[in-house]
Amino acid sequence: MTENTSPAPGAAFADGTADEPMLRVEDLHHSYGAGAATVHALRGVSFVVRRGELVALKGRSGSGKTTLLHLIGGLDSPRSGRVVVGRTDLSALSGSELLELRRDRIGFVFQSFGLIPILTAAENVGVPLRLRRAEPREREERVALLLALVGLAGHETQRPAELSGGQQQRVAIARALANRPALLLADEPTGQLDAATGLAVMELLRAVVRSEGVTALVATHDPHLLGLADRVLELSDGVVVEDEARTVRDPGSR
Ligand code: ADP
Ligand code: MG
């Protein structure tokens, strides 16, 4: 342990050992509204994700993908069932602990990028590091490394409006990785991009899952992107109807 480094992000949350799953979803049920207007968005979803796995979540619009990602990321609480990230049962956390888990252990990527318009690319990536009060030097080094990782070295001082959609999503991916999350959750990250840019962004996600050792769950309804996942889970009407392991083509050996 060196003196000048900040505590590891989310050190309070035990990830468990390498052979334990990174994510366990147990019989999740969720609904919106009440009475006759109740919508049953999830109707008993269970699965386990290994460390380092890239899981694609497919299913039509309305099948429950966003709801599932929100429950896994602690943005909403299920009506019943459990989400366990590492060794942390989300239902056992207080509001402030959940906030801390979301900040330090989970990275989110949204279809709409979600960058802060007045901040530069580097400042956007640095936001999660500032939130956990990382040392400025550590923050600057991590931001530079992440921007290089997503292919945006040299774009540090550009604001979102000065970047293409694909570049903005790369910034958002770098930001999501800032605190070395245990879990990366992406909700249709290529939904606003053209096909070629979307494929490049998905290939980037594939590469960072390997290089950063993160575990990722990516909702997409683009069939071309499913081939890059280790595994495809299909949701239909709030239940898992297919769970299929893929043999992933190694991008290094084409
Ligand atoms: P997907 O992301 O696969 O399109 P969602 O999780 O967004 O699916 O939606 C699942 C179901 O829940 C749909 O029937 C949707 O209309 C409904 N739903 C989602 N969010 C809300 C909400 N905030 N209020 C009411 N119904 C919702
Ligand atoms: Mg959705």
200 assigned to some structural domain: yes
How does pLDDT run across 59-83, given as a tens digit for each residue? 999 999 999 999 999 999 999 999 9
Q: Are residues 93 and 117 in the same domain?
A: no
Ligand 1 pocket check for 41: Cβ under 6 Å: yes
5 band by pLDDT with thresholds 50, 70 and 90: low
Cα of 175 vs centre of ligand 1, distance in Å, is 26
Q: Are residues 78 and 139 in the same domain?
A: no
**DSSP states along 112-173:** T----TTS-HHHHHHHHHHHTT--HHHHHHHHHHHHHHTT-TT-TT--GGGS-HHHHHHHHH
From CA 224, how far away is CA 211, in angstroms rounded?
Answer: 22
Q: Which residues surround ligand 2, an ion (CB under 5 A)?
A: 65-66
9 band by pLDDT with thresholds 50, 70 and 90: low
Residue 222 is predicted with a pLDDT of 78
221 band by pLDDT with thresholds 50, 70 and 90: confident
User: Which residue, judged by its Cα, is nearest atom 16 of ligand 1?
Assistant: 62
Q: CATH number of the domain at 208, please.
A: 3.40.50.300
Residue 172 is predicted with a pLDDT of 97
Q: Are residues 59 and 173 in the same domain?
A: no
**DSSP states along 180-215:** --SEEEEESTTTTS-HHHHHHHHHHHHHHHHHH--E
6 band by pLDDT with thresholds 50, 70 and 90: low
Q: Are residues 31 and 74 in the same domain?
A: yes
Please check the confidence at residue 49 and state whether its pLDDT lies above 70.
yes
Q: Are residues 189 and 231 in the same domain?
A: yes
Q: Are residues 72 and 187 in the same domain?
A: yes
10 band by pLDDT with thresholds 50, 70 and 90: low
- Contact (Cβ atoms closer than 8 angstroms) between residue 238 and residue 63: yes
7 assigned to some structural domain: no
Average pLDDT of the chain to the nearest whole number = 91
89 assigned to some structural domain: yes
Three-state DSSP class for 220? Answer: coil
How does pLDDT run across 120-164, given as a tens digit for each residue? 999 999 999 999 899 999 999 999 999 999 999 999 999 999 999
Q: Are residues 164 and 88 in the same domain?
A: no
Residue-number span of the structural domain to which 148 is assigned: 113-180
From CA 222, how far away is CA 191, in angstroms rounded?
Answer: 8
From CA 65, how far away is CA 59, in angstroms rounded?
Answer: 7
Q: Which of 180, 213, 236 is the last residue of a domain?
A: 180
Give the CB-side neighbour count of residue 248, counting CA atoms within 13 A.
20
245 band by pLDDT with thresholds 50, 70 and 90: confident
| Pocket probe mutation, ligand 1, options 57, 67, 188, max atoms within 8 Å of Cβ | 67
Q: Are residues 101 and 154 in the same domain?
A: no
From CA 94, how far away is CA 86, in angstroms rounded?
Answer: 17
User: Which residue, judged by its Cα, is nearest atom 12 of ligand 1?
Assistant: 41
User: Which residue, judged by its Cα, is nearest atom 15 of ligand 1?
Assistant: 62
How does pLDDT run across 84-128, given as a tens digit for each residue? 999 999 999 999 999 999 998 999 999 999 999 999 999 999 999
From CA 73, how far away is CA 184, in angstroms rounded?
Answer: 9
Please check the confidence at residue 213 and state whether its pLDDT lies above 70.
yes
- Number of domains forming the structure of the chain: 2
Residue position matching structure tokens 């468990």: 16
Ligand 1 pocket check for 39: Cβ under 6 Å: yes
Q: What are phi and psi of 78, to 5 degrees?
A: -70, 155
Segment 236-249 mean pLDDT: 84
11 assigned to some structural domain: no
Q: Are residues 47 and 83 in the same domain?
A: yes
The first and second tokens of residue 123, run together, are: 């400042």
235 assigned to some structural domain: yes
Residue 38 is predicted with a pLDDT of 95
Please check the confidence at residue 13 and state whether its pLDDT lies above 80.
no
Residue 23 or 246, more confident: 23
From CA 127, how far away is CA 117, in angstroms rounded?
Answer: 13
Residue 253 is predicted with a pLDDT of 43
Q: Are residues 176 and 187 in the same domain?
A: no
Segment 194-203 mean pLDDT: 91
Segment 218-234 mean pLDDT: 89
- Contact (Cβ atoms closer than 8 angstroms) between residue 177 and residue 127: no
- Residue among 164, 175, 176 at smallest CA distance from 218: 176
Q: What pTM value is reported for the model? A: 0.92
Q: Are residues 187 and 80 in the same domain?
A: yes
| Pocket probe mutation, ligand 1, options 30, 31, 38, 39, max atoms within 8 Å of Cβ | 39
Q: Are residues 141 and 38 in the same domain?
A: no
Three-state DSSP class for 226? Answer: helix
